[in-house]
């Protein structure tokens, strides 16, 4: 699907025109991008229908008296409560309505006061993201007959004048790329583990070397030599080879270096402490890895002037004759000994070695890990925000500011020393679970902290939002959300 910008009045006849309207101004909208006949038709439609411009309200109408045969009105709610995220959802609702009713080309028209309030850049951000995320589907296994496939070929965003179009054009490429990368992460995160296995992730990473990234994949034997026994322990019950994938974007003249580490459990059965509920959702336990891999795709395309390192620890947590067991003790890459209290607390073990390796090999200005780490984070926050932990206040604020700009929600959680005390082992230095289940996302974060030294580090537990995403006009049901991708790419390619 081609997404472009234009200015002036909608001239070429698109299959559908979508208009975004505020509740307060629904009876007298200013729509300079539409010809008189179309504006008049919209006026009559609003008068005749009960369309009130409420948030998430969508109306479809067919006519032969306007520039397009299909008019779609989308409500934005009250102007004083308006946030740009509302426009993102409205764009998703608009293009789905058009696409699902056979439109192949669409024009999106926002009344000009919207761009007065938000600025053409933010309007573009919201509309581009809403269109691309809203258009995404996970239907490759449904075997839809080609004649029944409903597909948009082109969407054009109209601005009232050339100045605004130019402002939009300065930012649209970046927003399109970020949204596409989010869809990539959604695609991988929605796939089962018999498709997206550890080798699949390594293959996808290797593809990035053609785009200028240095990609290294550490195999089991190399990790054994390096002493990554925590990551390797988790992989012991599975026939799938464990891997540590390292992707390095190192442009000449880069002054800062950032690293992103993702939990890549292609499936988490729980191991010998086998899961008793919702095991099937654990195909999504590689969403942290998917976010890092997709973001590195974005880095390869957007070429920021900073060094960006993406690291993925990928394994399967399964059961087999050699599976690791509760009470086992392993020594990690950084020399710390860990006793296993529960084989289902495996993500922190994989991340422990991945993080320790990353801080050992690179001098970092900032480190972020992303992981579907704990059910406790979901208990704490529901599906509406990810849990963020940090050892460095300034870096946390920087990451959260990027999250805010990207329209992803993170909630600051504590890392009190007491949580760390609870992760001390009975016989080893550390244990992978405390003696109780309270504050489970905090104790997990405290465990990770033992492996990052003094590097400014942020841990984002994306279990709340990664899978399934909250269903909306930009998120289909029972699919991964791609959470984290936009925050990472905003952080390394956005303003600051």
Contact footprint for ligand BES (CB under 6 A): 268, 282, 285, 342, 344-347, 372-376, 378, 433, 440, 463
Query: Which partner, ligand BES, Zn ion, none, binds residue 453 by CB below 5 to 8 Å per kind?
Result: none
The side-by-side arrangement of strands in the sheet containing 329-331 is 329-331, 337-339, 430-431
Q: What share of the chain is helix, strand, coil (3-state, %, to 5)?
A: 40, 20, 40
**b/e per residue, 31-40, with b = 16+ CB within 10 A?**
bebbeeebbe
Q: How far is the CB of 340 from ligand BES (least distance, A)?
A: 11
Q: What would the two tokens of residue 245 be?
A: 């994938």
Which residue carries 């729980």 as its tokens?
A: 270
* 336 tagged catalytic: no
* 275 tagged catalytic: yes
- Give 176 or 378: the residue with its C-beta nearer to ligand BES: 378
Q: How far is the CB of 256 from Zn ion (least distance, A)?
A: 31
CA–CA distance, 134 with 304 (Å, rounded to integer): 27
DSSP assignment of 301-362 equals HH--SSEEEEEEEEEEE---TT---TT-EEE-TTS-EEE-S-TT--HHHHHHHHHHHHHHH-
Closest residue to ligand BES, judged by C-beta, is 375
Query: Which partner, Zn ion, ligand BES, none, binds residue 375 by CB below 5 to 8 Å per kind?
Result: ligand BES
- Give 279 or 478: the residue with its C-beta nearer to Zn ion: 279
Interacting residues toward Zn ion by CB under 5 A: 265, 268, 285, 344, 346-347
Q: How far is the CB of 201 from Zn ion (least distance, A)?
A: 15
Q: How far is the CB of 489 from ligand BES (least distance, A)?
A: 23
Q: How far is the CB of 374 from Zn ion (least distance, A)?
A: 8
Query: Which partner, ligand BES, Zn ion, none, binds residue 3 by CB below 5 to 8 Å per kind?
Result: none
Bridge-based pairing state of the strands 70-75 and 16-21:
parallel
CA–CA distance, 261 with 294 (Å, rounded to integer): 12
CA–CA distance, 116 with 164 (Å, rounded to integer): 10
CB atoms within 10 A of CB 209: 14
**b/e per residue, 294-304, with b = 16+ CB within 10 A?**
bbbbbbbbbeb
Q: How far is the CB of 351 from ligand BES (least distance, A)?
A: 10
Contact call for residues 412 and 388 (beta carbons, < 8 A): yes
| Burial grade of 112 (CB within 10 A; 0-12, 13-18, 19 or more) | middle
CA–CA distance, 93 with 74 (Å, rounded to integer): 8
Query: Which partner, ligand BES, Zn ion, none, binds residue 378 by CB below 5 to 8 Å per kind?
Result: ligand BES
CA–CA distance, 20 with 442 (Å, rounded to integer): 42
Annotated catalytic residue within 113, 211, 275, 336: 275
Annotated catalytic residue within 348, 396, 409, 431: 348
Q: What would the two tokens of residue 431 be?
A: 């244990």
The residues that bridge with 142 in the sheet, in sequence order, are none
- Give 284 or 475: the residue with its C-beta nearer to Zn ion: 284
Q: What would the two tokens of residue 55 be?
A: 């948030």
Query: Which partner, Zn ion, ligand BES, none, binds residue 374 by CB below 5 to 8 Å per kind?
Result: ligand BES
Q: How far is the CB of 347 from Zn ion (least distance, A)?
A: 4
Query: Which partner, Zn ion, ligand BES, none, binds residue 342 by CB below 5 to 8 Å per kind?
Result: ligand BES
Contact call for residues 24 and 79 (beta carbons, < 8 A): yes
Which residue, 137, 163, 166, is CA-closest to 150? 137
- Give 5 or 441: the residue with its C-beta nearer to Zn ion: 441
Which residues are part of the catalytic machinery? 275, 348
């Amino acid at each position: 699907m081609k997404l472009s910008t234009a200015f002036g009045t909608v001239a070429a006849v698109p299959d559908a025109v979508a208009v975004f309207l505020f509740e307060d101004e629904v009876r007298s909208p200013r729509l300079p991008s539409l010809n008189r006949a179309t504006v008049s038709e919209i006026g009559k439609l609003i008068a005749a229908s009960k369309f009130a411009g409420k948030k998430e309200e969508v109306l479809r109408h067919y006519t032969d008296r306007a520039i397009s045969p299909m008019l779609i009105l989308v409500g934005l709610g009250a102007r004083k409560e308006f946030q740009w995220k509302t426009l993102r959802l409205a764009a998703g609702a608009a293009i789905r309505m058009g696409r699902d009713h056979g439109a192949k080309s669409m024009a999106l028209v926002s009344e000009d006061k919207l761009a007065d309030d938000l600025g053409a850049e933010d309007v573009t951000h919201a509309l581009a993201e809403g269109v691309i995320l809203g258009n995404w589907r996970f239907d490759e296994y449904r075997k839809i007959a080609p004649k029944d496939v409903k597909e948009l070929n082109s969407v054009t965003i109209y601005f009232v004048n050339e100045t605004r179009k130019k402002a939009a054009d300065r930012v649209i490429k970046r927003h399109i790329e970020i949204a596409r990368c989010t869809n990539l992460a959604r695609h991988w995160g929605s796939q089962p583990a018999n498709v997206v296995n550890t080798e699949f992730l390594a293959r996808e990473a290797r593809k990035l070397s053609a785009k200028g990234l240095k990609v290294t994949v550490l195999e089991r034997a190399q990790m054994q030599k390096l002493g990554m026994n925590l990551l390797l322990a988790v992989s012991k019950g599975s026939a799938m080879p464990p891997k540590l994938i390292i992707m390095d974007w190192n442009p000449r003249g880069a002054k800062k270096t950032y690293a992103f580490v993702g939990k890549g459990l292609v499936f988490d059965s729980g191991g010998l402490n086998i899961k008793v509920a919702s095991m099937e959702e654990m195909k999504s336990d590689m969403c942290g890895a998917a976010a890092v891999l997709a973001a590195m795709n974005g880095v390869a395309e957007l070429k920021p002037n900073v060094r960006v390192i993406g690291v993925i620890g990928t394994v399967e947590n399964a059961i087999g004759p050699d599976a690791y067991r509760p009470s086992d003790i392993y020594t990690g890459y950084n020399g710390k000994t860990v006793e296993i209290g529960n084989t289902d607390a495996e993500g922190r073990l994989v991340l422990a070695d991945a993080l320790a390796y990353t801080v050992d090999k690179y001098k970092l200005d900032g480190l972020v890990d992303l992981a579907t780490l704990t059910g406790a984070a979901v208990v704490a926050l529901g599906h509406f925000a990810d849990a963020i932990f940090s050892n460095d206040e300034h870096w946390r604020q920087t990451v959260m500011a990027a999250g805010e700009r990207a329209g992803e929600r993170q909630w600051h959680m504590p890392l009190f020393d007491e949580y760390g005390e609870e992760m001390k082992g009975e016989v080893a230095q550390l244990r992978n679970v405390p003696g109780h289940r309270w504050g489970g996302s905090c104790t997990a974060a405290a465990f990770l902290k033992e492996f990052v030294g003094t590097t400014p580090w942020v841990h984002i537990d994306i279990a709340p939002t990664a899978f399934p995403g909250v269903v909306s006009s930009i998120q289909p049901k029972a699919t991964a959300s791609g959470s984290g991708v936009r925050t990472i790419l905003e952080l390394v390619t956005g303003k600051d």
